[in-house]
Amino acid sequence: MSGIVEGRVVIVTGAARGIGRGHALEFARQGAKVVVNDLGAEVDGTGSSDAAAAVVAEIEALGGEAIVNGEDVSDFDGADRLIQAAVERFGDLHVLVNNAGILRDRMLVNMTAEEWDAVIKVHLRGTFAPLRHAAAYWRARSKAGEEVDARIINTTSSSGIYGNPGQGNYGAAKAGIAGLTVIAAKELERYGVTVNAVAPAALTRMTENLVPKGTRATGSTGADPDDIAPLVVWLASAEARGVTGRVFNVRSGMISVAEGWHAGPAVDKGSRWDPAELGAVIPALVEKAAPNALTSGQIPGREA
């Protein structure tokens, strides 16, 4: 096989189904050697299966190279073993795609501590731990004088960067991932590593309950999980060397750059405020500011 990531060694977490499976297969089609990491769990993180092995079999049927890895990415030592497995099997590591995740949706007034902790652990810790160990690997190579051209692509969500009721745990984790992406990009650029994130919209096991009845059967969602992979694979390529610290919205053929928090309307008194003064100040600032984006990412009143 030959393609845009020919010869690159790639880890994709949560790669047994849905968006992650699409990533793994497209990386293989484009010439990469792939570590298919997955616990094989259900949407809520329970249970297990051999779905990752089926993805490896698909890749091998395409003429590609891949291995199964069953490490828990939220386990710090397990994440280290994941990185080492790629290096030991394929001799190097060039790309880490953090995609693994679960859902425990609940309104805040009903959410349990366990439901909060489980989602934060898999998404946020499960992004940090592999990222940390991959970064250490690449930093060591860079300090040894080797040329590094590596990529980290994280997975955030519109629930995190724009907000979605009923997903406080998931959204908080995904917002954290977006913030971590920006910080990691600044820290790792000196070592030849870019860090970006994608906020995908696609119909998967994790999102099928959010889609109106009937749309899945008709295909009217326009959100095939395989449609996310082309952007992720491009971000992993040599062509993307100059792109870092960005979050991309992607749905079907639509790609946009998410513009993060930035300072809006302001007033500076030049000294400490008295709380009683702020009633004449804060409402006016809020009135001038753009409203928060909708879950779609669009500013109300400015929808395309």
User: Could you tell me the CA-to-CA distances from 115 to 8, 40, 48, 169, 246 in Å, in that order?
Assistant: 37, 19, 19, 8, 29
Task: Write down the CATH number for the domain with range 9-258.
Answer: 3.40.50.720
For the chain, the structural domain boundaries read 9-258, 264-304
Phi-psi region of 266 (alpha: psi -120 to 50; beta: other; left: phi over 0): beta
Question: How confident is the model over 121-147, as a mean pLDDT?
Answer: 98
Asked if 269 is an active-site residue, the reply is no
- Residue-wise pLDDT for 175-221, tens only, equals 999 999 999 999 999 999 999 999 999 654 444 444 444 433 333 34
pLDDT at 202: 60
Instruction: Assign 302 a pLDDT band (cuts: 50, 70, 90).
Output: confident
* Residue of 74, 157, 158, 237 marked catalytic: 157
pLDDT at 40: 73
Instruction: Please calculate the CA angle 296-298-303 and round it to the nearest 5 degrees.
Output: 115
Asked if 48 is an active-site residue, the reply is no
Question: How confident is the model over 141-160, as a mean pLDDT?
Answer: 97
Question: How confident is the model over 94-109, as a mean pLDDT?
Answer: 96
Asked if 157 is an active-site residue, the reply is yes
The closest alpha carbon to 121, from 157, 166, 169, 156, belongs to 169
The rounded distance, in Å, linking the Cα atoms of 291 and 218 is 34
* Residue of 74, 121, 162, 174 marked catalytic: 174
- Residue-wise pLDDT for 13-46, tens only, equals 999 999 999 999 999 999 999 999 999 745 544 5
